[in-house]
Amino acid sequence: MIQRVLELAFGVSEAHERRPIRGITIEIGVLQQIMPAALEFAFEAVTRGTPAEGARLEWRMVPLEVRCRACDLHYTPPGDFWVCPRCASARATPVRGNELNLLQVELLDTSTGEDP
């Protein structure tokens, strides 16, 4: 997953005069069950020795929101079992919480030559 993030980030860097990557922001939905600590560890390991070494990894967790398939109510289940507070149906579709997105790449601003 981190490699995928880096591939995309390097693509952005290539499109901008290959400016070095200083930061990457990703968005992870809670349903993806990804541990931030594992992410940080993997990021540090994979970026070592690359133009992205030393870059900051930021993540935003997206909370779970589901739509009840029986009555259309949007709600946030408190636990792993999704029970509609209005009609008690267990059938629901995630509306938010499945995200796995690269949001932003921060590149070195070479006009100042310094890290912002």
Partner 1 sequence: MKINVVQRLLKVNDEIAEANRADLQEAGLVTFNIMSAPGSGKTTLIEQTISRTQGLLRIGVIEGDPETSIDAERIAKFDVPVTQIETAGGCHLEANLVRRALKGFDLPNLDLLIIENVGNLVCPASFDLGENVKVVMVSTTEGHDKPAKYPNMFRKADVVILNKMDLLPYVAFDFEVFREYIRKLNPDAALIDVSCVTGEGLDAWLLWIEERLAQESARQVP
Q: Of 3, 8, 102, whose CA–CA distance to 45 is shortest?
A: 3
With residues binned 3-state (H G I as helix, E B as strand, rest as coil), the percentages for the chain, rounded to 5, are 25, 30, 45
43 vs 30: CA distance, rounded Å: 19
Residue 104 to residue 115: CA distance in whole angstroms = 16
Q: Does 61 bind partner 1 (CB under 8 A)?
A: no
Half-sphere exposure of 6 (CA within 13 A, CB side): 19
Stretch that binds partner 1, among 40-48, 51-59, 80-88 (CB under 8 A): 80-88
CB of 99 to partner 1, least distance (A): 8
Which segment (1-9, 39-47, 48-56, 57-65) binds partner 1 by CB under 8 A? Answer: 1-9
The DSSP secondary-structure symbol of 46 reads H
- Check residue 73 for interaction with partner 1 (CB under 8 A): no
C-beta closer to partner 1: residue 42 or 101: 101
Cα angle 23, 50, 37; round to 5: 55
Stretch that binds partner 1, among 19-27, 35-43, 48-56, 57-65 (CB under 8 A): 19-27
Binding flag, residue 19, partner 1 (CB under 8 A) = yes
103 touching partner 1, by CB under 8 A: yes
> Could you list the residues that contact partner 1 (CB under 8 A)?
1, 4-5, 8, 12, 16, 19, 23, 26, 31-33, 80-83, 90-91, 99-107, 109
